[in-house]
Amino acid sequence: MMHDRSVTPGQAEHPAPCAHHGGALRMCLVGPPTVTDFEDPEVAESEAIRLIAEHAPIGVLSLAAVLEQHGVAPQIVDLNRLYYAYLRAPGEAEAKQDFCSYVAEELDKLTFDVLGFSSICSSYPLTIRIARDMKQRRPDVPIIFGGPQASVVDVPTMEAYPFVDFVVRGEAEETLPALIKAIAAGASPAGIQGVTYREGDRLVRAPNAQIIADLDAIPLPAFHLYPELKDCHYVPLELGRGCPFACTFCSTNDFFRRKFRLKSPEKVIEQMRQVRDVYGITTFDLIHDMFTVDRKRVIAFCEAVIATGETFYWNCSARTDCIDDDMIATMARAGCKAIFFGIETGSARLQKIVKKNIDLNEATARIVATDRNQITTAVSLITGFPDETMEDLRDTVHFFADSLRFDFAEPQLHILAPLAETPLESHFRSQLVFDDILSDMSHQGWRQDPVDREMIQQHLDIFPNFYSIPTPALDRAYLRELRDFLLNGSARFRWLLVALHQDSRDVTKSFEAFRDWYATHPDKGPRPGLQESRYYASITFRDDFFEFVRDVYAPRFARTPRVLHSIMDYERALIAETPLPADTAIDGHDVSDITLVPKLVDGVVLTECAADYQRIIRCLRRKGDLRRIPRKPATIATRQHADKRLDVVLLSPLSAQLLKLCDGERDISEIATRLVPARRSMADIPTDKVCMFGLEVLRQQGLIALHRESAISASQACAS
Amino acid sequence: MAAAKNTQHKVVLTIPDIGLSKTQINSLKRNFKNEVVTHLGGPEVLARRRIVVVVVVVIVFAQQKV
């Protein structure tokens, strides 16, 4: 390992901070970025990324509240916010300084005596680079690292990066104030549990600190130091800590240990009320790795919330074997709107190997229950386990595709990241490879920052999550592409993917057939020079895939080609970019004036489908026999609204016939002569009245407008 | 499944009196019953999300024009 000695350590011993002028010691706490170095503003500005980045930095805000109790004056820097400020700053991307220098410049404008960085694995290289820059600017300011990543790689970090003066490991509510007190006094941190520090040339790793037993004693996070909260849609609040399970890939045990702890319902409700009363926010991300371990306490919490009669909405994490349908219903009544289920793998065999041990049938039943209770459910799956076979992978993909049948399920597929000091990472450390097939957990944008990349290559022991555990039975490039295909496919054409899965009984076959197809079509598939992930995130992928299904899959392989065509027809209509109507206001005329000329409103598009889309969807939801979907031609009209809403109007056959006659040339009397109302039930109604009635319905539904003259007359008048 | 249920929302249409009987109107209502499905959030969300609203057409007479 090469060690970075480019910066002389400023705090080899323990001098008191120079800027402590008799007042409260000032500590700047920097929250880790979840968004880093995206070069493409389009991606960084997407709603999904922005919502994640909106997550208030709860770790440093909690510590700030504790520090205030100890007479320290904290300030908060949220690198996600800073990143968006950087991204949105005027100027060409190429001309801008890099984000790391930008952050250092911003931090340099602040006044503080101690600088603390929280850390997560995905942005740890960036955190270290910023710390290095700050040490160069402020050599006398002690730098403290903490958080999940630094806690487990404290020693190699401090060995490699001498500008890191201290690492606070694990839960820091007691350790950090004690360390700050020692720093303020210029004393050695010897005796403070949970600190790794320098003593001369050697590193000292004090024993682990005790976990915080009474979580109710931790104050409300210092939201008053985070003015951006007013712009947030939701607020994270800690519900508890500690997961008693021992999954081999998970790092949470290292940080919060396995002792399950929960705040009291009274404390959580009190804090939710405080946030609501001050900031007007009633939606909460209630943070606990495994909230539902203790059924009685979950029910007690829900009943306490229900008993308030107040409206709070909240999200949480759970295991499918630690929750039941009654609990789910009670949670829904208490305001639960979203649950994260870590399913991890759809393979029963792998469930045992990775020690997750979830019963997959039970897991499906819980997803059905959350869907029934309208709780949005993240169904989190992982691929890339070292023992994973193609059969295991297919099981996982099947679980993913089956989950798509539930409206409220949002399946995720991740590539395994060997997180530092997890049982998996420890076992395979000597075999880790740096193959650029990164887990999304370590995703840094479309490409790795070259400076980060160099650091990662030099220090496997600090950044193992950027490496890969070899998968002898699986091609990792295949895994990455399959993941891109499934995630982007489910976002762009969810029901087509479900239908393909049902039609082929294995959606991976469709994926492989697509790869074979584009391999022989140079103008299709990932283009040279365009990164594969970027291709799958683009509209081009969707267009290529539709073409493949239409021209290749449906005629050659499909059992139910008509169903696939119908879904594509329908979904194509939904995604068609239609112009916004120029004027949808009712024009003051009505159909009793038969000289008026009806015309489709701008932005209304008609599409023919071979079968009833909604019946297909109902069939897919229950895994019914798609061959029983009858041929039933139908016409749909789509209509875009200014607020991005889209109406889809499934037209009755007579409405469709009438609408097609509204070509902007014929007046109502002429349309009436061409209309053929075939139904016997209308035999006694004069056709002109059928026509007038139908046109009025279509007009009031915003599909047609009535004009005084035909389009031809209007253009002639205009020309003359 | 609750999620698959559509929320129904009635919209009242008014038509001029064109001399139709109640039976004829009911027949026409059935034949021009268009199912309007409104999706929130634009096409991207639409492709993956449930139906939000179905508009049921109900027709009443407007006063005859003088």
The verdict on B42 touching A (C-beta cutoff 8 Å) is yes
Between chains, do B4 and A407 touch, taking CB under 8 Å as contact? yes
Does pLDDT of A672 surpass 70? yes
Residue pLDDT, tens place only, A13-72: 555 554 444 568 999 999 988 765 455 666 666 666 666 677 889 999 999 999 999 999
Q: What is the pLDDT of residues A549-603, one digit of tens each?
A: 999 999 999 999 999 999 898 877 776 665 555 554 445 566 778 889 999 988 7
Let me know: does A338 contact A376? Beta carbons within 8 Å. yes
Range in A93-102, A116-125, A689-698 the model is least confident about:
A93-102
Collect all residues of chain B within an 8 Å Cβ-Cβ radius of residue A650: 34-37
Confidence of residue A267 (pLDDT cuts 50, 70, 90): very high
Residues of A in contact with B24 (CB under 8 A): 682, 684-685, 689
Q: Are A79 and A32 in contact (CB under 8 A)?
A: yes
ipTM of predicted complex = 0.73
**pLDDT of A377 higher than 70:** yes
Contact criterion met (CB < 8 Å) for B50 and A407: yes
Per-window interface: A 589-628 vs B, CB < 8 A = 590-592, 614, 618, 621
User: Taking residues A601-612, what's their average pLDDT?
Assistant: 84
Burial (CB count within 10 angstroms: exposed 0-12, middle 13-18, buried 19+), residue A536: buried
Please tell me the predicted confidence (pLDDT) of residue A637: 87
pLDDT at A651 over 80: yes
Residues of chain B in contact with residue A367, where contact means CB-CB under 8 angstroms, are none
Q: Is a pLDDT exceeding 60 seen at residue A323? A: yes
Give the residue ranges of DSSP H helices in A309-422.
325-333, 348-353, 360-372, 390-403
Which residues constitute the domain of residue B34? 2-61
Chain B closest-CA separation from residue A689 CA (Å): 7
In a domain, B51, yes or no: yes
The confidence score (pLDDT) of residue A700 equals 81
Q: Which residue of A has its CA nearest to B24?
A: A685
Instruction: Give pLDDT, residue B43.
Output: 42
A655-674 residues touching B, CB cutoff 8 A: 655
Handedness of CA B35, B41, B42, B44 (dihedral sign): negative
Is the pLDDT confidence value at A389 over 70? Answer: yes
Closest residue on chain B to A374 (Cα): B3
Domain A26-205: CATH superfamily, name plus number: Response regulator (3.40.50.2300)
**Secondary structure tally for chain A: helices H, strands E:** 29, 20
Say if B12 is an interface residue toward chain A (CB within 8 Å): no
The C-alpha atoms of residue A332 and residue A487 are separated, in whole angstroms, by 27
Residue B46 falls inside a structural domain: yes
**Residue A116, SS3 per DSSP:** strand
pLDDT, position A383: 96
Q: What are phi and psi of A164, to 5 degrees?
A: -90, 115
Percentage of residues in chain B having pLDDT higher than 90? 0
Q: Check whether A716 has a pLDDT greater than 90.
A: no
CATH of A234-416 among 2.30.30.100, 3.20.20.70, 3.40.50.2300, 3.10.129.10: 3.20.20.70
Set of chain A residues whose Cβ sits within 8 Å of the Cβ of B2: 371-374
pLDDT of amino acid A545: 96
Question: Nearest C-alpha of chain A: how many angstroms from B62?
Answer: 11
Which residue did the predictor score with more confidence, A645 or A151? A151
Report CB contact under 8 Å: B37, A649.
Answer: yes
Chain B interface, best mutation among A404, A607, A620, A645, by max B CB count within 10 A:
A645
B43 CB near a chain A CB, below 8 Å?
yes
Mean pLDDT over all residues of chain A?
A: 87
Residue A645 with chain B: CB contacts under 8 Å: 38-42
User: How many Å lie between the alpha carbon of A572 and the closest alpha carbon of chain B?
Assistant: 10
Q: Tell me whether A407 touches chain B (CB under 8 Å).
A: yes
Quote the pLDDT of residue B65: 38
Q: What percent of chain A has pLDDT over 90?
A: 60
Chain A interface includes B63 (CB < 8 A): no
Give pLDDT tens digits for A428-470: 999 999 887 877 766 665 566 788 889 999 999 999 999 999 9
Q: Which residues of B touch A373 (CB under 8 A)?
A: 2
Task: State the average pLDDT over residues B4-10.
Answer: 45
Nearest-Cα residue of chain B relative to residue A650: B35
The backbone torsions φ and ψ at residue A508, rounded to the nearest 5 degrees and listed phi first, read: -65, -30
Q: What's the DSSP call for residue A221?
A: P
CA distance A720 to A165: 83
Find the residue in A nearest to B65 (Cα): A592
Higher per-residue confidence, A315 vs B49: A315
**A195 vs A175: CA distance, rounded Å:** 7
Question: What is the domain count for chain B?
Answer: 1
Note whether A645 contacts B40, CB cutoff 8 Å: yes
Residue A512 CB burial class (10 angstroms; 0-12, 13-18, ≥19): middle
In the predicted structure, residue A218 carries a pLDDT above the cut 80: yes
Q: What's the rounded Cα separation, in Å, for the pair A591 and A698? A: 11
Query: Do A491 and B18 lie within an 8 Å CB cutoff?
Result: no
* C-beta separation of A260 from A220 below 8 A: no
Asked if the C-beta of B19 comes within 8 angstroms of chain A's C-beta atoms, the answer is yes
The confidence score (pLDDT) of residue A242 equals 83
Predicted local distance difference test score (pLDDT) of residue B33: 83
Q: List chain A domain ranges.
A: 26-205, 234-416, 475-559, 597-719
Answer whether B39 sits within 8 Å of A647, measured CB to CB: yes
pLDDT confidence tier of residue A719, bands split at 50, 70 and 90: low
* Whole-angstrom distance, CA of residue B12 vs CA of residue B55: 10
Q: CA-to-CA distance for A83 and A102, rounded, in angstroms?
A: 9
Kindly report the pTM of this predicted structure.
0.83
Q: What is the pLDDT of residue A617?
A: 85
- How much is the pLDDT for A49? 65
For residue A150, give the nearest of A195, A187, A193, A185 by alpha carbon.
A195
Give yes or no for A678 touching B (CB within 8 A): no
Chain B residues within an 8 Å CB radius of A338:
none
Give the fold, CATH level 3, of A597-719. Outer Surface Protein A; domain 3 (3.90.930)
Residue A620 has pLDDT above 90, yes or no: yes
What per-residue confidence (pLDDT) applies to B40? Answer: 43
Residue A97 confidence (pLDDT) above 50: yes
Q: Supply the pLDDT for residue A570.
A: 81
Residue of higher predicted confidence among A603 and A686: A686
Tell which wins on pLDDT, B42 or A601: A601
Quote the pLDDT of residue A678.
Answer: 74
Instruction: Please say if the pLDDT value at position A231 is more than 60.
Output: yes
Where is pLDDT greater, at A447 or A486?
Answer: A486
A210 and chain B: CB distance < 8 Å anywhere?
no
Whether residues A690 and B59 touch (CB distance < 8 A) is answered with no
Residue A415 has pLDDT above 70, yes or no: yes
Q: Which residues of B touch A644 (CB under 8 A)?
A: 41-42
Q: Look at A74-83, A125-134, A195-204, A578-587 and tell me which has the smallest mean pLDDT.
A: A578-587
Per the domain annotation, does B66 fall within a domain?
A: no
Q: Which of A374, A654, A692 lies nearest to residue B18, judging by beta carbons?
A: A692
Mean pLDDT score, A213-241: 92
- B22 near A CB under 8 A: no
What pLDDT is recorded for position A17? Answer: 53
The residue that leads in pLDDT, A309 or A248, is A309
Residue B4's pLDDT is 34
Which pLDDT belongs to residue A656?
A: 93
Residue A645 sits at the chain B interface (C-beta within 8 Å): yes
